[in-house]
Amino acid sequence: MIEVKNVEKSFGEQKVLKGITTSFETGKTNLIIGQSGSGKTVLLKSLLGIHKLDSGTISFDGRIYSDMNDDEKRELRTEIGMVFQGSALFDSMTVEENIGFPLKMFSNKNSREIKERVDFVIDRVKLINAHTKKPSEISGGMQKRVAIARAIVNNPKYLFCDEPNSGLDPKTAVVIDNLIQEITEEYNITTVINTHDMNSVMEIGEKIVFLKEGVLAWEGTKKEIFKTDNEAIVDFVYSSELFKKVRKAQNRADKL
Amino acid sequence: MIRYLSQIGKYFLMLKEVFNKPTKWSMMKQLIMKEIDDLVMGSLGIVAFISFFVGGVVAIQTALNLTNPLIPKYLIGFATRQSVILEFAPTFISIIMAGKVGSFITSSIGTMRVTEQIDALEVMGVNSLNYLVFPKIVAMMLYPFVIGLSMFLGIFGGWIAGVYGGFASSTEFQTGLQVEFIPFHVTYAFIKTVCFAFLLATIPSFHGYYMKGGALEVGKASTTSFVWTSVAIILVNYILTQLLLSK
């Protein structure tokens, strides 16, 4: 579990995170949602240790990040997998080399063991005929699968995803969402996803944290979203006509 | 002024970080070999081409300016040797390399920054500066061999142009090459080259690593890196010449 307590972060005069307190549960897909500029990327980067906090603490299964020394922080980073918005695959490497990179860097596995593990995760994310291709030679959806495979190859305890289905068609987006959820449950990972895709929220949002102007405005599950009276989240989620209809239908069904 | 000083400070802090937390040797070996291929081997063609023809031009221009019949013809070989060894090979080629190798380094690291590949390395717990910059510094330590080749081809180009252009005989040219030869001049040229190699690896890396923005800024960073690498080479050239050659 990742616990966030009174986290504050400013850039110059601008206060981006204003006393965020929440937790992200193990074995669940935790979603951070909010409008552009609400502070969700800053929160995700703070969780990853990329941004130094002004105040507050972030703890990973009881280990407070700011209290760790450099070796402990490096150790923690080997327990983290990250899927970046643009996949962030290394251009000069093939798909296999990209996926095997964390193992080559941090494990004592020999090349045969690395190959076996890489083949296993390639199968797990259902990548077909892409082993020796470069990232530029595969589709956006496949790149996301490679990014997920690279993120889980080292058996991470924590998986972070920044807009994992941005730029993908709706069908592929659902496949990627489901893949992340399956992996989270299968390996009991604490997964935190940063998104503003409402389909993802409805599909895999086991815990949802809603940020508005740097403040935690609401948190709950995808089921609770249908029933909540919180104006901020209702206004955000049901800004589209489609979701307004879904909410009406859901409430009608509940009354019956 | 403060901004420039802060950038210089940031550059030295970057250098400190480059030598921190080294990457696993088995991985580093591969990275160094790749950088040798990209930065050193990949530059041989252009260096050979430019050196050969500029050496030839130096010989022809010297010959064409020797209008006084009292001045011996061997001066063509002497002038070619002095120009090529002292300045052309180490300094002029390094400025060209600031354009070729420097912009390659800045744009490749800059693109990695823009596409979050550097963030990915950091999140994994890799010291991205050591991973990206250290192999380039090691690879560029082979740069003196490139300059050695440039010296040889420059003088060879001068000999071809001088002899086959009918400006001097082969013996005269060779005499010129040996006249008042000071071996320390070659040492001086190689000392400069090692310093330039370090600048060529680190200044473009600095501009690529700390760039912000998108594709357009990658292009701008490459240009800026070329300008500052050239400025640094010229300044270091002046300082080293003053330190090593003046009595």
- B74's enclosing H/E stretch is none
Beta-carbon contacts of B175 under 8 Å, excluding residues fewer than 6 positions away, are: B74, B77
A chain contacts of residue B34, beta-carbon cutoff 8 Å: 92
Q: Tens digit of pLDDT for each residue in B141-187?
A: 999 999 999 999 999 999 999 999 999 999 999 999 999 999 999 99
Cα B36 to Cα B22: distance, rounded to the nearest angstrom: 19
A chain contacts of residue B115, beta-carbon cutoff 8 Å: 86, 88, 91
Residue A255 lies in a domain: no
Residue A243 lies in a domain: no
Left (φ > 0), alpha (ψ -120 to 50) or beta: where does B20 sit?
Answer: beta
A187 touches chain B (CB under 8 A): no
Beta carbons of B24 and A105 less than 8 Å apart: yes
Domain range for B45: 26-239
SS3 content of chain B, % helix, strand, coil (to 5): 85, 0, 15
Beta carbons of A88 and B122 less than 8 Å apart: no
Q: What is the pLDDT of residue B11?
A: 94
Q: Tens digit of pLDDT for each residue in B75-117?
A: 999 999 999 999 999 999 999 999 999 999 999 999 999 998 9
Collapse the DSSP code of B78 into the 3-class scheme (helix H, G, I; strand E, B; otherwise coil) and give the result. helix
What are the strands, taking DSSP E only, across B99-171?
none
DSSP string, B41-56: GGGHHHHHHHHHHHHH
Beta carbons of B23 and A102 less than 8 Å apart: no
**Cβ atoms of residues A10 and A55 within 8 Å:** no
**Cβ atoms of residues A13 and A64 within 8 Å:** no
Residue B184 lies in a domain: yes
Tens-of-pLDDT digits for all 256 residues of chain A? 899 999 999 998 889 999 999 999 898 899 999 888 888 889 998 998 888 899 999 999 989 988 888 888 888 888 899 988 888 999 889 999 999 999 988 888 888 999 999 998 888 888 888 889 999 999 888 898 899 889 888 888 999 998 888 777 888 888 888 888 888 888 899 999 998 888 778 778 889 999 998 899 889 888 888 778 888 888 887 776 766 677 677 777 776 6
* Overall domain count for chain A: 1
**Which of A78, A80, A88 has the CB atom closest to B117's CB atom?**
A88
Nearest CA in chain B to A156: B124
Residue B135 lies in a domain: yes
Beta carbons of A80 and B111 less than 8 Å apart: no
Collapse the DSSP code of B165 into the 3-class scheme (helix H, G, I; strand E, B; otherwise coil) and give the result. coil
Q: What is the pLDDT of residue A227?
A: 78
Domain range for A118: 2-221
Residue B7 lies in a domain: no
Beta carbons of B115 and A85 less than 8 Å apart: no
pLDDT interval class at B71 (50, 70, 90): confident
Residue B41 lies in a domain: yes
Is residue B244 scored above 90 in pLDDT?
yes
Beta carbons of A89 and B26 less than 8 Å apart: no
pLDDT interval class at B14 (50, 70, 90): very high
From first CA to last CA, the distance across chain B in angstroms is: 34
* Overall domain count for chain B: 1
Q: What is the pLDDT of residue A86?
A: 85
Cα B130 to Cα B117: distance, rounded to the nearest angstrom: 14
Q: How far is CA B80 from CA B48, B58, B59, B109, B192, in A?
A: 16, 6, 6, 38, 19
- The phi, psi pair for A81, rounded to 5°, reads -115, 145
A80 touches chain B (CB under 8 A): yes
Q: Tens digit of pLDDT for each residue in B176-232?
A: 999 999 999 999 999 999 999 999 999 999 999 999 988 899 999 999 999 999 999
Q: What is the pLDDT of residue B240?
A: 95
B chain contacts of residue A89, beta-carbon cutoff 8 Å: 117
ipTM: 0.81
Beta-carbon contacts of A19 under 8 Å, excluding residues fewer than 6 positions away, are: A6, A7, A8, A56, A215
Cα B43 to Cα B14: distance, rounded to the nearest angstrom: 26
**Cβ atoms of residues A156 and A75 within 8 Å:** no
Nearest CA in chain A to B111: A91
Q: What share of chain B has pLDDT > 90, as a percent?
A: 84
Left (φ > 0), alpha (ψ -120 to 50) or beta: where does B213 sit?
Answer: left
Beta carbons of B115 and A86 less than 8 Å apart: yes
Neighbouring C-beta atoms of residue B2, cutoff 10 Å: 6
Q: What is the pLDDT of residue A142?
A: 87
The pair of three-digit structure tokens given for residue B117, joined into one six-digit string: 């590949």
Q: Of A95, A106, A134, give the one whose Cα is nearest residue B27.
A: A106
Residue A223 distance to chain B (closest CA, Å): 33
Question: Which residues of B fall below an 8 Å CB-CB distance to A?
Answer: 21, 23-24, 26-27, 34, 111-112, 115-117, 119-120, 122-126
Interface mutation vs chain B, best among A77, A83, A105, A148, most B CBs within 10 Å: A105
Q: CATH no. for residue A185?
A: 3.40.50.300
**Cβ atoms of residues B189 and B86 within 8 Å:** yes
A chain contacts of residue B126, beta-carbon cutoff 8 Å: 105
Diameter of chain A measured on Cα atoms: 61
Q: What is the pLDDT of residue A37?
A: 85
pLDDT interval class at B23 (50, 70, 90): confident
Q: What is the pLDDT of residue A235?
A: 81
Residue B3 lies in a domain: no
Cα torsion at B158, B167, B183, B137 (round to 10°)?
-10
Q: What is the pLDDT of residue A144?
A: 87
